[in-house]
Structure 1
Amino acid sequence: MSRMKQILKYFIVVLLYYSGLAFVFRFLKRLSRSNQKPLILMYHQVFDDPKAELKYSQAGLYVSTPVFDKQMSYLAKHYKPISLADLATSIRSNQTLDPKNIVITFDDGWRDNYQHAYPILKEYQLPAIIFLTANFIGTNDIFWFMRAATLMTINKLDRQQLRALFKKVCLSSAESDSAAIETMASDTDWFIEKLKKLDLIVINRVLDELSKSNKKSDNTGDNSRWTMNWDEVKEMSQHGISFGSHGCTHRVMTTLSSDENMRELRDSREVIEAKLGLRVDIFSYPNGDYNIEIEKLVEQGGYLCAVTTKGIGKPGNKSELFALRRIGVHEGISVGPRGNYSRAMFDFHLLRNS
C-alpha cells in the first residue's frame, strides 16, 4: 500500500470510529443472527525488535511486543476470549454463540511466542492455542520461507532476476500466476508465494541455487533457535495455553498425496501428545490450503476441528467445523502512518471481518 493510501485509510477509519458510525454498524450486524459469529484471530511471530528481526521474516507475519500488549489489553476489556476447543464444543452441541467471543491462535511454534506473547497472555489471563509444526520443535532447523526471506533481504533481487532463477532450476514454475500474486507489492512475498506451489525438494533446490549464485550467506543471525523447545511448550500448557497440530513439516497439503497427508496428520499428533501427555485434536492447515478430500482426512484422523485462512466456515455452522476461517493479525493492521498503535485501526479490522 502506498504512503498516501495508508494515510487516507487511517483518517477515514479514525473518522468512522470516533464519529460513532463504526459502533452503529457493529450494533446493526449483531441484530442479525445470521451474522452473529465469534472471530478467530491468527498470529505468527511477536518481535521485540522488529527492525533487527524482520529481515528473517515477512511484514504480514509479525506484530511488535508493545502493539501485541495493547491488542490483548483491548480484547480483554471489550471481548470475551474463549478457547478454540470450547468454541468447537459449543458448535457441535448447537449452543448459542456470543458474538463477543473471540479466539486467539498462533501458527508454527515460534520461540518468540514463548518469550514475548506468553507473558502478556498470562498477564491478561487470556486463553490461546498454538499450532506446532512438530518436526521443528526443540531443534535449530528453520522453515524454508524464513530462509527465503533472509536470502531476499541479503541479496535484494528483483522479479526479473527471480524469474531467471526459476527458469534455471524449474522451468514450469516460471509460468504466469494469478493476479493476486503478480500484483503483490513486496518482491519477497511474491517470491515466497511462487515457491509455495512447488515440492519441498524443488524449493530447497531453488534456495540453494540462490545462495550459491549470489555467494552471500543466508545465516539467520545469532538466535540459533527460532522455534520453541518442549520444556517451553510444557510450561505454557500448564498455564492456559493449548496446543494443536500444524503438521510435521509445514508442507502445503494440497501439493501432497493422501498418504503423505495422513502421515502429516497422524505423526504430528502422536509426537505432540507423547511430549505433553495431552490429547491433541485441533488442526491448522499449513498456509491455509485445503480441499474437501483433505477435510475428510482430518476428520478421519480423529481431529475435532480445523482452522484455515481461506475457508468460508463461519463459527456457528456445524458443517464447517473443518474449515473454520481465521483473520490474520499483524503489525500493519493496527498502526497509524507513524507506526504507533491505533485502537481505531485494530477495532476496525475486527469489525469489518466480523
Structure 2
Amino acid sequence: MSNKKALFFKACSLLPMAPLMALNKHSGLFIPIYHAITNERLIHLEHILPYGSKNSKQFENDLDLLLKNLNPVSYADLYACIRDGKPVPPKSFIITFDDGLRQTYENATDLMVKKGVPAIFFLNTGVLDNKALLHRYKASILLEFIKQQNNHNLEHKVEAILKLNGIMMPGYAAGIKAINYKNKQVFDILANEINYSFDDYLKKHKPYMSSEQVKDLKKKGFILGSHSTWHPEYWNIDINEQVNQTQSAMQYLKEHFNETNRTFSFPFTDIKTPVSFFDALKKEAPFELLFGSQKLKKDIIPNMIHRFDGDNNLSDMETYLKTLLVFQSLNKMRGQTIVNRSAN
C-alpha cells in the first residue's frame, strides 16, 4: 500500500461508523466478495489476487464486525425487495464467494452456520471436482514455478515462447499475466515446453470443491449461483458466448444440485458490460439477481447489485467499511453513485 493510501485508510479508521452510515442510508446493502478463506499458502492465487486472502481468524473477525454493525439478509428476502421494487432494509449484508475454492468450504461454512450468516457461492462449473484449472490460476502457478527455478535461461525461454505466440510484453511475468481466456492455450504450450504438469498440481492440491461438498452447501442452506463455466474476461468474448457461459453454469447447478434460485456474478468485472448483454440474458432465461463489483454503487439495471472486496487484507473490515462509506459520500457529492451503461 502506498504511503498516501495508508494515510487515507488511517484517517478513515478514526471516523465514527454511525454518522457515516447515516450519511449513506440509501447505500444500505453491503456485500463482500471472498475467494478463499485459507490457513495455508495458495500458489494458484498468490500472484493474481492483489490483496491476498484472509485466514479463518480474519474471516471470523469480519463476520463479527459485520454482525455488530449490520443485519444479515437472506437471499430470498433480498430478491423479494428487488423484485417488488422495495428498498432493501438499511444496514443489510450477505456474504458472497466466487470461484468455488475448497478452502472456503472447509474454513468458512461451519462458521457462518454457527453465526447465522447467509451466503451465496458463485461457482465455475467447468472446474468442479478438480476437472481442470481456470486460466488465471495457471498464470499464478507458472509464475511461482519459474520464480522458484531462479534460472535466467528458463526465463528467456519463456519470453521467447510468449513472443512466438504473439504476446509482446517486457519480461516473462508481464507476458504470462497478459494471457487471457481467448489465448489460454499458451499456458499449456508453456507448461509443456518447461516440463511442468498442471494435472499434477490439480491432483496434489485439489483447489476446487467436490460435488459432495457443493451438495453439503445446499444442505446447510446456502445459495448456489453461476459464475460462468470457465471464468472468461467477458469484455473479451462475444455476447453469445457470454450468455452461453452464464446460462450453462446455472443450468448445471440446477441439474446436479437442484438449485432453483437463478443468480449470477460476473467473473473479473462487470465494467463496460452493455445493456444489450442484460437484454440477451433476459430473453433466453431471466435471472433473479445479478452481482457486479462496483462497491456500494447502484445500477441502471434494476436487478443488478454491486459488491466490494472482502479479500482485501490491507486493513481490517471496520476500516475498509469506513473507507467505502467515505468514497460513497464523495461519489454522492459528484453525482456518481449509479452505474450507467452503453446500449451496445
Structure 1 length normalisation: TM-score?
0.77
Q: Return the offset for 1:222.
A: 6.3
Structure 1 residue 87: deviation in Å? 1.9
Residues in 1 aligned to 2:213 and 2:66: alpha-carbon distance in whole angstroms: 25
1:257 and 2:238 correspond: yes
Q: CA offset at residue 52 of structure 1?
A: 6.8
Give the CA deviation at 1:278.
2.9
In 2, are the aligned partners of 1:14 and 1:344 still within 8 Å (CA)? no
5+ residue gaps, structure 2: 329-344
What CA distance in whole angstroms lies between the structure 1 residues aligned with 2:176 and 2:264? Answer: 23
Q: Cα distance, 1:39 vs. partner?
A: 1.9
> Structure 1 residues 114 and 21, CA, compared in 2 at 3 Å: closer, same or farther?
closer
How far the C-alpha of 1:213 sits from its partner, in A, is 4.3
- One-letter identity of the residue aligned with 1:174: M
Q: Measure the CA separation in 2 of the matches of 1:174 and 1:306.
A: 36
1:220-239 deviation line (CA, Å, top 9, x unaligned): 37644221122211211122
The equivalent residue for 1:337 is: none
Match for residue 303 of structure 1 among 268, 287, 291: 287
Give deviations 1:213-267, integer Å, cap 9, x for gaps: 4445555376442211222112111223111111222223333334333332332
> Matched residues in 2 for 1:272 and 1:51: separation?
26
**Counterpart code for 1:291:** P
- Would the aligned equivalents of 2:83 and 2:303 in 1 still touch at CA under 8 Å? no
Tell me what 2:19 maps to.
24
**CA 1:66–1:331 in structure 2 vs 1: closer, same or farther (change >3 Å)?**
farther
Give the 3-state SS of the residue equivalent to 1:46 in structure 2: coil
Q: Which amino acid aligns with 1:48?
A: N
Change (3 A) 1:22 1:73: closer
1:291 to 251, 274, 279: 274
Q: Please say if residues 72 and 120 of structure 1, whose CA atoms lie closer than 8 Å, have aligned partners that are also in contact.
A: no
Moved more, 51-60 or 101-110: 51-60
- Note if contact 2:121-2:225 (Cα within 8 Å) is conserved in structure 1: yes
Residue 235 (structure 1) aligns with: 216
1:28 shift after superposition: 2.8
Q: Is the 8 A contact 2:291 2:307 kept in 1?
A: yes
Deviation at residue 191 of structure 1 after TM alignment: 5.2
Aligned CA distance change for structure 1 residues 269 and 16 (closer, same or farther; 3 Å): closer
**For the aligned residues, what is the CA RMSD?**
3.3
Task: Provide closer, same or farther for how the CA distance between residues 345 and 53 of structure 1 changes in structure 2, counting only shifts above 3 A.
Answer: farther
> C-alpha deviations, 1:137-166, integer Å up to 9, x for none?
2234221111110110121399x9676554
Structure 1: runs of 5+ lacking an equivalent: 176-181, 335-341
What is the SS of the residue equivalent to 1:45? coil
Aligned length: 318
Q: 1:211 aligns with which of 174, 180, 191?
A: 191
| Contact 2:9/2:320 (<8 A) preserved | no
Alignment of 1:167 with 2:141, yes or no, is no
Q: Secondary structure at the match of 2:126?
A: helix
Shift of 1:283: 0.9
Q: Is the 8 A contact 2:99 2:122 kept in 1?
A: yes
Distance in structure 1 (CA, Å) of the matches to 2:140 and 2:227: 21
Note if contact 2:132-2:202 (Cα within 8 Å) is conserved in structure 1.
Answer: no
The answer (yes or no) to whether the contact 2:29–2:296 under 8 Å persists in 1 is no
CA distance in 2: counterparts of 1:313 and 1:26, whole angstroms = 15
TM-score by length of 2: 0.79
Letter in 1 for 2:188: D
Taking structure 1 as reference, are residues 311 and 63 closer, same or farther at Cα in structure 2, changes over 3 Å only?
closer
